[in-house]
Chain A
Amino acid sequence: MTEQLGAETLRTYEEINERVKTGDAVVVTAEEFVAHVRDRGVETVAKEVDVVTTGTFGAMCSSGAFLNFGHSEPPIKMFKCWLNDVPAYKGLAAVDAYIGATAMSESKGFDYGGGHVIEDLVSRKEIELRAEAYGTDCYPRKAIETTIVLDDLNQAVLVNPRNAYEHYNAATNSTDRILYTYMGTLLPNYGNVTYSGAGQLSPLYKDKNFETIGIGTRIFLGGGIGYVIGEGTQHSPQNQFGTLMVRGDLKQMKPRYLRGATYYRYGTSLYVGVGIPIPITNLRVAKSAALPDDQIFTSILDYGVPSRSRPSVKKVSYADLKLGKVVINGRSVPTSPLSSFKYAKEIAETLKWWIKEGLFFLSRPAELLPNQKEFKPLEVRRHELRVKDIMTVKVTTAKPTHNIKTIASLIVRNGVDHIPIVDDDNKLVGIVTSWDLAKALAEGKNTLDKVMTTKVITARENESEDVVARRLSQHDISGMPVVDDENRVIGIVTTDDLAKLLRKWKE
C-alpha cells in the first residue's frame, strides 16, 4: 500500500462534532470496531463509524502532579517538601511542587509512594504537608507543618511525561531464582510470562501512523478530561514504541482511575486510566483502528539477563497471550497481564458514552506527533571496571580424575579457596572450595564427584563489576570462575578481588 492510498478524507472534525452535538455521532469502542470490521469489512464500517474509543489502565511510572499550595502567613519559600512523608520536587518557585509517582515515603518505603499520594489527594483525603526553608528577607518562615486536601490547592495538575506506551515487551525469567521486576513477579526457569498494554483497545495502536493524535488532542485521563501535550519521553514510533505526554486537572479525576501501586521489591508507581478517541478521518486510520489482538505482536524477553538488551525468547500476539498460556521450550507456561483489561474496556465504554451524550467533543490537534524519532541509549563515558580488569588470570584448576587429597594440597600450596574442575579442553565441569573439603572431612566423603559442585555460578569477562558483586551476594558464594563462550575457564573472580578493589578506591 502506498502512503497516499486511503488518505482520502471520510469526515472532518467539524462534521463529527456537529453529529456529537445533535446526538447522531456513531461511536464504538475499539473492541466493537474490530468485531464489526471482521464481519463486514473495513471499507463498509469506516463509512458508518465516526469515532472509535480506546482505553488502557496500567502502571505508568512517569506520572506525577504539579501542585500549588498557596502562601502561608508568614510566607515560606519551600526548599524541601514532603507529602505524607513522600518527598516532592521543590526546584520550582516558593509554593509550587511536583509529586512524582515513584518517589517513596521516607518512613514506609515501598509501601507508600507518590502514586499513593495522588490517589489519596483525588480521594479527598487529608494529606500531611511538611516543608523546610532557609528563610529569606521576603520569605522569612523556615518550616511548616500542616494538612491539605485537594480542594485547598490553587492548582493540582496531573502532568505525565510518558504514558500509554504503544507497545510493551512481555517478560519471563530463565534464571533459577524468582525475580521481582517492573514486569511483576517472575518465577524461575520460565515459570510464567507477564505482559502489559491493552492489546486491541490500546490507544496508540489504533492510530499507529499518528494521523489524529497530537498536541491538543482531548482525552479521557484518570476519569476526567485531559489533553495530549506532546510526544512522551522515549517516543520511538518507528519501533512501535510511541508514547504520550499528557496533562489534566486532578480535581476532575476519580480515584478509580488513578491508583497508587507497589511493585514488590521494585518500587511505587501509579495506575493511570487513559482513553483516546480516534476520529475515523480516512480509511488508513480505520485500518489501524481495526487492528485485532491476533495482529498485535510482542516479544517475550528474558528478564534474567541484567542488560539493556535482553534476549527475546519468543514472538507472540496478544491473542496468544490472552489465552493464559504459551509454549516455551516445549512446555506450557502460564501468562497473565499487569494492565487491567477490565478497566481498559470500562474506560473505552465511558468515553464512548461521553461522546454519545454530547459531553465530550473531539479536538483537532494543533500539531501532530512525530512518526519518526531516534531513541538513544546513555553512553557511559567514564571507565568502568569489568570482570576482566579485576579477575585473577592464573587459575589453579584440577581434573575430575584427581583425588580430594591432591585438591586439598593445591588449596594449601597456592593459598586459594576455589578450585575449578576442568576437563582436558579446560572446559568447566565443577568447582570445589575449601569449605566443601571441610564439609567432606566432617561427613566422611572421600571421592571428588561427591564433593564438587557441578552447577557452577559463573561470570563473563565483559560483565560489569556491579553485576558480578550482586550475583555473588545473591548466591551467597565467595568466588566464580570466569568462562568464555565455549565454557573454558579463563579466570576467577572472588570476594577478595572485590575487597581489594574497595580498599584501592577508598585510598
Chain B
Amino acid sequence: MKLRLLYTRDNVGNPVLSDIVLKTRVPINILEAKVSLNGGEIVVDVPATGKELDEIRQLFQKEGVSVKEIKSVIEIDYEKCISCGACVSPCPVQAIKQNPDWDAELDEGRCIRCLICVNACPVRAIKSP
C-alpha cells in the first residue's frame, strides 16, 4: 500500500518514520520526499495489510502526521495509448509489461512513482494523478 504522509511545520523535524520502522519492524520504503516551509511530504510504500497497516497509520497520526492512501500511482489512458512499448523497458522496476496483445499493463504494487514512463510515452497517455 502506498501512502502519502503529510508533516506539519511542528513535526517535520522529528524522526517519526524511523521510529515507526524500528517499532513495527515493517520495512517502509521511501519513494518521494520533500520539505517546505509549511512542513513536508513523504510518499512511502508500506508492505503491510489489514491490522498491521491500520496500526502503522495510527502511529503516524498519533505523531501529528496525516496519512492519505494513494489509490493509483500512475494512470494509462487506453483511449490514447498506441500499445507501442516506449514506456516498458525504461521502467527501472519493470512495473509496466506488455501482454500478448502488446497492450501495456501496470503492476501498481511495483511502481515507485519515478514517472520516467510519463515522459517516455510519445503520445502522452500516461499521467500521474
Contact = CB atoms under 8 A, between A and B. Distances in A.
Contact of A343 (B82, B87, B122): B82
Interface string A254-284: 0000011111100001010000000000000
Contact of B102 (A192, A334, A342): A342
Contact of B89 (A261, A335, A341, A343): A335
B94 interface: yes
A343 B101 CA distance: 10
Nearest to B119: A264
Interface residues of B, number: 23
A184 B120 contact: yes
A130 to B, nearest CB: 25
Contacts of B91: 334
B81 to A, nearest CB: 9
Contacts, number: 83
Contacts of B17: none
B122 A336 contact: no
A365 interface: no
B92 interface: yes
B102 A185 contact: no
B39 interface: no
B65 interface: no
B103 to A, nearest CB: 7
Contacts of B120: 184-185, 264
B86 to A, nearest CB: 5
Contact of A269 (B103, B116, B122, B124): B122
Interface in A336-390: 336-343
Contact of A187 (B82, B90, B103, B123): B90
A343 B85 contact: no
B94 A338 contact: no
Contacts of A186: 90
Interface of A: 57-59, 111, 178, 180, 184-187, 191-194, 259-264, 269, 271, 324, 334-343
5 contacts: A57-B84, A178-B116, A264-B119, A336-B90, A338-B85
Closest 3 CB pairs of A and B: A336-B88, A336-B89, A192-B89
Given A185-B86, A263-B122, A340-B83, 20 more contacts: A57-B82, A58-B84, A59-B122, A184-B90, A185-B90, A185-B116, A191-B90, A192-B89, A193-B89, A194-B86, A194-B90, A262-B122, A271-B82, A324-B88, A334-B91, A336-B87, A336-B98, A337-B102, A340-B85, A343-B82
